[in-house]
Amino acid sequence: MARFLDIHPDNPQPRLISQVVEALRNDELIAYPTDSGYALGARLGNRDGRDRILRIRELDERHHFTLMCKDFAQLGQFVHVDNWAFRAIKAATPGPYTFILPATGEVPKRLMHPKKRTVGVRIPDHVLVQAILEELGEPILTSTLILPGETEARTMGWEIKEDLDHVVDVVIESGEVIAEPTTVIEWLDREPVVLRHGAGDASRFEA
């Protein structure tokens, strides 16, 4: 049975943030709110957590996982950001963007796209998530909580608790959550490619 934590959206209680971080470090799987809907999250090195996410969402090995990063400095440890992308990505973060970039050696191979050797990264503009990342000290391996047969991310913690009670370990409630997907930018060469238009203004990355 999943633990249910109700955390203040503007002033997250340190005691509860510590419980979330301890759960992640113990290789538990969390369902947590972000600035683009709920997501499933696990510690970066949690192989079982990755597999559980794939099973819950009924996804295959080609799924592009996202590393939820605290800031640009942390993001730069896990992906290669060339000079022509540096300023644009830095100016757009934190915010509702996911960037697909070449992964560095810090990323486990099982988390990369099997052919492109890329991984998704983002820096959320969300008080709760930033508090978790600050204490955790590393990215959260993340996938949007869209269940099979559904088209949008979940937004209600209590519904997630009911539906996923026996397949996740922690469900976090923290104020209103809006299911507005991020804008996805793939940046492998000099020119970025907009793969999905979402909450972030894509025009800044379009020629």
Cβ(7)–Cβ(128) below 8 Å: yes
Q: What's this model's pTM, rounded to 2 decimal places?
A: 0.95
pLDDT tens across 3-31, in order?
999 999 999 999 999 999 999 999 999 99
Per-residue confidence (pLDDT) for residue 60, from 0 to 100: 87
Q: What does each of the 207 residues of the chain score in pLDDT, given as a tens digit? A: 999 999 999 999 999 999 999 999 999 999 999 999 999 999 999 999 999 999 999 998 888 899 999 999 999 999 999 888 999 999 999 999 999 999 999 999 889 887 889 999 999 999 999 999 999 999 999 999 999 999 999 999 999 999 999 999 999 999 999 999 999 999 998 899 999 999 999 999 986
End-to-end CA, the chain? 49
Q: Pick from 27, 57, 5: which is nearest to 141 by CA? A: 27
Question: What domains sit in the chain, N to C, each tagged with a CATH number?
Answer: 3-205 (3.90.870.10)
Q: Indicate the helix (H) or strand (E) that contains 43.
A: strand 37-43
Angstrom distance (rounded) from CA 40 to CA 140 = 9
Torsion angle (degrees, nearest 10) of CA 15, 19, 20, 25: 130
The letter for the amino acid at 143 is: S
Residues in the chain: 207
21 in Cβ contact with 136 (< 8 Å): yes
Instruction: Supply the pLDDT for residue 190.
Output: 84
Q: What ranges make up the beta strands (E) of 44-197?
A: 66-68, 97-102, 118-122, 140-144, 170-173, 183-186, 193-196
| Cβ(71)–Cβ(187) below 8 Å | no
The predicted pLDDT at position 62 comes to 80
Question: In the 8-state DSSP scheme, what is residue 147?
Answer: -
Give me the pLDDT at residue 207, please: 66
Taking the CB of residue 113, how many other CB atoms lie within 10 A of it? 17
